[in-house]
Amino acid sequence: MTEESERARRSECESEFESEPTTEIDVPESHPRYQSLLTRHRIEHGVEAGITSKQGLIAQGRGEAFDYLLGEETIPSADAAERAAAAQLLLADHPVLSVNGNVAALVPDELVELADAVDAALEVNLFNRTEARMEAIADHLRAHGAEDVKGLTADARIPGLEHERGKVDTDGIYEADVVLVPLEDGDRAEALGEMDKAEIVIDLNPASRSPRVASIPIVDNVIRAVPNITAHARELADADSRTLERIVDEFDADEALEAAEERIRSGEF
Amino acid sequence: MTEESERARRSECESEFESEPTTEIDVPESHPRYQSLLTRHRIEHGVEAGITSKQGLIAQGRGEAFDYLLGEETIPSADAAERAAAAQLLLADHPVLSVNGNVAALVPDELVELADAVDAALEVNLFNRTEARMEAIADHLRAHGAEDVKGLTADARIPGLEHERGKVDTDGIYEADVVLVPLEDGDRAEALGEMDKAEIVIDLNPASRSPRVASIPIVDNVIRAVPNITAHARELADADSRTLERIVDEFDADEALEAAEERIRSGEF
């Protein structure tokens, strides 16, 4: 299929799916719903680019509801988790940032910046793996400045997961000592956690399995969490290992999950 | 475009959007996630049938999160609201059930049964109105047994809404004395409420504007709420007007919203 006919077909599919044109977000940053409108705009663009799935849109909605209950802000325990994540990534010998469709759609620039700040690899890793989506996501990351995108080699498996779900790169997630998995499925978060890696999970539902199996669970919106990990990493760039280790050790995962639950329960409706 | 080429194009679009085939739900009813898996299955079929929009998928996810916090069950205050809704619909001279894409995808049979039980009209009414989606939803309802589907005439307007958003049928929502609007947008729920109608809203977020402007807000999953309204209507079929009026009068909307908020805050995580 030529690029042009592919584009024509895609545009036809979009108009089938939702008829109004997608326009740039036309609200000022001061608008109380700016962040949620921007988030939704990016995720819808993700569908058009072939990188966000139907499941991804539903997951986005679940996240919106939890974020709403959290007050749509980075709560202090999440900021502490983001600082610990930055320290953990800086301490790593071989850190990898795992990227799925929603994450690529929501924070492509921010992921490239974080990978740069902590010298980590980016690896595309999908729950519903198809070559077309893998390529679309890798292309999207490259268009946002990523130089080396892993995940397409798929020459290793995460133990305990069925074949397609477990595919990873040997020199990527398989051999990583620290993995950041934003918006990860519970089974895979658990299987990764059993591989003797430090696992950092970003998830807006403090009760879902992924943050519960993580060594560092971050209950925050990826759109706020990823740039904040980068900001902490830049601030800690010159810190010695002892300082970084102390930051990681002082972080208490259970306490952070409890604080998030508490916030969700007591937040303003 | 022939029906066959239309089907071929649609199937191509689906494979573009999500590659795995949609199969019938293959889990027993006793499965703890049965209802949420069935719900998701129906909504995804809605996308394939051209009746659920991207916004609809995101809204579905938000609903899932609130339903999860509610315990995925009809709480007593919601059951009371559903009983009051049944009484209100039975008392009506001209009741209309408003149907959008998600509602049509999730509860087509159940809507037809409710319309039958309370002698109400069904009217397709979309936030993102396009003729193609209007027709697809009307076809879907007819395939599930609806005889008369309103909404396509669009010869009246709800005051206070921009042109496309406000389109309704004169002999449908415009002249209705009682309207059931499940999963409605806040602006439209408010505009309808100002038209001197009794408005019944189904919404899983007790803090969103639609249930707050409703005369009878139902904080429940449509997949449970609609059949439960029907069950109450059948039980009340022979009740006299005084009994029905007492049921409506005794229902307290603010109390029901507070009970739902309380449940969300105190539910098991």
CB A177 within 8 A of CB A92: yes
Q: Examine residue A35 and state whether it is found in any structural domain, yes or no.
A: no
- Locate the chain B residue with the closest alpha carbon to A132: B16
Region for residue A2 given its phi and psi (left: phi exceeds 0; alpha: psi -120 to 50; beta: otherwise): beta
pLDDT digits (tens, 9 = 90+) for B140-153: 999 999 999 999 99
- Contacts B54 to A, Cβ<8 Å: 17-18, 44, 47, 57
Q: What is the mean pLDDT of chain B?
A: 88
Query: pLDDT exceeding 70 applies to what percent of chain B?
Result: 90
For residue B205, CA distances in Å to A187, A269, B239 come to 29, 9, 32
Q: Which residue is closest to B21 within chain A, CA to CA?
A: A128
Q: Which of A10-19, A21-30, B195-204 has the lowest mean pLDDT?
A: A10-19
pTM of the model: 0.83
- Which of A14-28, A177-191, A208-222 is predicted most confidently? A208-222
B6: confidence class by pLDDT, cuts 50, 70, 90: very low
- In this prediction, residue B15 carries a pLDDT of 35
Tell me the backbone φ, ψ of residue B61, rounded to 5 degrees: -65, -40
Residue B59 in domain: no
Q: Is A17 in Cβ contact with B17 (below 8 Å)? A: yes
What are B28-84's pLDDT values in tens digits?
A: 777 777 887 888 889 888 988 899 988 889 999 999 999 999 999 999 999 999 999
User: Nearest-CA distance from A248 to chain B in Å?
Assistant: 26
Split at pLDDT 50, 70, 90, the class of A28 is confident
Give pLDDT tens digits for B74-119: 999 999 999 999 999 999 999 999 999 999 999 999 999 999 999 9
Instruction: Please say if the pLDDT value at position B266 is more than 90.
Output: no
- Which has the minimum average pLDDT: A103-112, A234-243, B53-62? B53-62
Note whether residue A192 is domain-resident: yes
Q: Is 80 exceeded by the pLDDT of residue A24?
A: no
Residue A125 lies in a domain: yes
Please determine, for residue A15, whether its predicted confidence score (pLDDT) is greater than 50. Answer: no
Q: How far is CA B242 from CA B85, B247, B253, in A?
A: 15, 9, 20
SS3 A240: coil
Model confidence at A18, in pLDDT bands (50, 70, 90)? Answer: very low
Residue numbers of the domain that contains A238:
76-266
Choose among B221, B252, B223, B241: nearest CA to B108: B223
- Is the CB of residue B153 less than 8 Å from the CB of residue B170? yes
A51-77: burial string, b at 16+ Cβ within 10 Å, e else: bbbbbbbbbbbbbbbbbbbbebebbeb
What pLDDT digit, counting tens, does each position of B160-193 carry? 888 888 999 999 999 999 999 998 888 888 999 8
Which H or E element spans position B190? Answer: helix B186-193
Q: Phi and psi for B177 in degrees, rounded to 5?
A: -100, -25
A47, A58, A63 ranked by CB distance to B60: nearest: A58
List, for residues B185-199, the tens digit of each pLDDT value: 888 889 998 998 999
Query: What pLDDT score does A261 carry?
Result: 93
Total domains in chain A come to 1
Q: Residue A70 falls within a domain, yes or no?
A: no
- Per-residue pLDDT at A11: 40
For residue B128, which residues of chain A lie inside 8 Å, CB to CB? 18-20
Shortest Cα distance, chain B CAs vs residue A19, angstroms: 7
- Cα–Cα distance measured from residue A39 to residue A49, given in angstroms and rounded to the nearest whole number: 15
Task: List Cβ neighbours of A147 (8 Å cut-off, separation of 6 or more).
Answer: none
Domain annotation covers residue B68 = no
CB atoms within 10 A of CB B12: 13
**A13 or B121: whose pLDDT is higher?**
B121
Q: How far apart are CA B106 and CA B223, in angstroms?
A: 7
Residue of chain B minimizing CA distance to A51 = B17
Per residue in A128-184, pLDDT (tens digit) is 889 999 999 999 999 999 999 999 999 999 998 888 889 999 999 999 999 999 988
Beta strands in A10-148 (DSSP E): 95-99, 121-124
Report the chain A residue with the minimal C-alpha distance to residue B39. Answer: A58
Residues of chain A neighbouring B53 (CB-CB closer than 8 A): 17-18
Each residue of A116-130: pLDDT tens digit? Answer: 999 999 999 998 889
B96: in domain: yes
Q: What is the CATH number of the domain that holds A236?
A: 3.40.50.12640
Q: Which residues contact A163 (CB under 8 A, 6 or more apart)?
A: A157
Distance from CA of B2 to the nearest CA of A (A): 15
* pLDDT at position B213 over 90: yes
* Encoded amino acid at B233, one letter: A
Q: How many CB pairs under 8 A join A and B?
A: 105
pLDDT class for B20, splitting at 50, 70, 90?
Answer: very low
Question: Is residue A88 domain-resident?
Answer: yes
DSSP string, B199-268: EEEE-S-TTSHHHHH-SEEE-S-HHHHHHHHHHHHHHTTT--HHHHHHHHHH--HHHHHHHHHHHHHHS-
Question: Do A18 and B61 make contact, defined as CB atoms within 8 angstroms?
Answer: no
